[in-house]
Structure 1
Amino acid sequence: MSERTLGTRSRTQDVFEYALLRVVPRIERGECLNAGVLVYCRARSFVAARTHLDETRLRALDPAADVAGVRAALRAVEGVCAGGDAAGQAGADDAGRRFRWLIAPRSTVVQPGPVHTGLTSDPAAETERLLDLLVK
């Protein structure tokens, strides 16, 4: 499959990958809530994260959850996606490397979910659509 896969009505559809960001407040229980989405489109060198933390749902899973710590971790993911100084050492990496680093499995409170694929003509709009559909 090529990077630019499908032309529709003069708009090219590009392959993109996405993963949900999950908050797992008590690792030993395995309960989670979706708190963000990562989107990567190689054809456009695009990577972005959008987050939304529902504190009420988080506190339902763990009344003692460190909300400030979770928010900081979610902001850090957004910073890595943005690149530059906000990404720290990863800022010099290309969009693909930053995405692959962020989706690597980890045993922390904020974890990436499995990677899925799709087609889009607007990766930024797709990021917002997925956030509304899967997180909010």
Structure 2
Amino acid sequence: MDTTAKDTTAADGGSGEPHDYEYAVIRAVPRVERGECVNIGVLLYCRYTGYLGARTHLDQARLLALDPVVDVAGVRRALHGIEAVCAGGEAAGPAAKDGAGQRFRWLTAPRSAVVQPGPVHTGLTADPEGELRHLFDQLVL
């Protein structure tokens, strides 16, 4: 699923100039003590344009290969929650009042859970949405 939000208070990034962005891979770690993971999504935030996007895909077979009794429905609920916070609006709950940058920071805060963010990385792009698709194709599919 692709979920994006644009903070309308941010500057318009239509100039074609590259801007810095931050991204993190979302991963499923069904047995935290083992540290094995499956990449299940990517978050991307571009401060200059106010873009915050998420793309997710759960490969259930790969997840079950790591732990045959993992709560697949729970992982899907967690992904839907991430997508809702990323998109903002009413579906984001209390996070809706926060800007895209604050929501990105909340989504990428380290946690010891089955669904967790990887480290935050940076790059430059003139097309945040296109970059999110590219990273998703490289890192998740």
TM-score, structure 1 normalization: 0.91
2-structure distance, mates of 1:45, 1:67: 32
1:79 aligns with 2:84: yes
User: Segments of 4+ in structure 1 off by > 4 A?
Assistant: none
Other-structure match for 2:137: 132
1-structure distance, mates of 2:53, 2:81: 12
Cα deviation for residue 86 of structure 1 reads 1.1
Other-structure match for 1:94: 99
Cα deviation for residue 65 of structure 1 reads 1.0
Other-structure match for 1:34: 39
2-structure distance, mates of 1:51, 1:70: 11
**AA in 1 matched with 2:74:** G
In structure 2, stretches of 5+ residues that fail to align are 1-14
**RMSD, matched Cα:** 0.9
**AA in 1 matched with 2:46:** C
**Which has the larger helix fraction?**
1
SS in 1 for 2:130: helix
Other-structure match for 2:11: none
Cα deviation for residue 100 of structure 1 reads 0.4
Other-structure match for 1:107: 112
Deviations 1:22-79 (A, max 9, x none): 1000111111110000000000011111101111100000001111110110111011
1:122 aligns with 2:127: yes
SS in 2 for 1:131: helix
Q: How many residues are aligned here?
A: 127
Cα deviation for residue 11 of structure 1 reads 2.1
**AA in 1 matched with 2:30:** P
In structure 1, stretches of 5+ residues that fail to align are 1-9
**AA in 2 matched with 1:45:** G
**AA in 1 matched with 2:76:** R
Other-structure match for 1:52: 57
2-structure distance, mates of 1:81, 1:123: 14
**AA in 2 matched with 1:93:** D
TM-score, structure 2 normalization: 0.88
**Which has the larger strand fraction?**
1
